[in-house]
Amino acid sequence: MILVADSSGLIAAFNTADAEHKAAAEAPDSAEFVIKSPLALGEIDHVVTARVSRAAADRVLEQVRARVEVKRAQLAEVEVRLLRVALSVRRRYLDMDLDLADAFNVALAARYETDTLLTLDRRDFRALRPLGRHRAFRLLPDDQ
């Protein structure tokens, strides 16, 4: 299975003080491959810096980099086609005021033909529908 990682899931996976840390940290181990969006990394930097510190954000991002470097994950590219798909997802869900990073994760899931996301953003991703053959997203760590 291919797993698309959302910022909320990655933050929990690297934050040992998070109540869902253990489950979020273990979820990627069940995946063949983990896809990480640069947009999610921007969110991680913003959220962790605002809540904790720039140094804490850098530690999380360093861990993400290290996993990509050892081929346990891939950092997706922001391609025009994916951006187009993400913007169409935002237009489809106008009432949700969906942020671009979440819409981009929907586009990535379609690109990699997966329904599995690492996220704690249950409200949005339970409401969003995959663009491919899947009927709903499988959210880890909840739907293990």
The pLDDT score that the predictor gives to residue 71 is 86
- Judge whether 40 and 6 are in contact, CB under 8 Å: yes
Going along the chain from its start, the domains and CATH numbers come out as 2-140 (3.40.50.1010)
Tens digits of residue pLDDT in 42-99: 999 999 999 999 999 999 999 999 999 998 899 999 999 999 999 999 999 999 999 9
Is-above-0.85 flag for pTM? Answer: yes
Rounded mean pLDDT of 105-127? 97
Q: Which residues contact 104 (CB under 8 A, 6 or more apart)?
A: 37, 39, 40, 78, 82, 83, 86
The answer to whether residue 29 scores a pLDDT higher than 90 is no
DSSP 44-81: HHHHHHHHT-HHHHHHHHHHHHHHHHTTSEEE----HH
Top pLDDT among 122 and 29 is at 122
The answer to whether residue 16 scores a pLDDT higher than 90 is yes
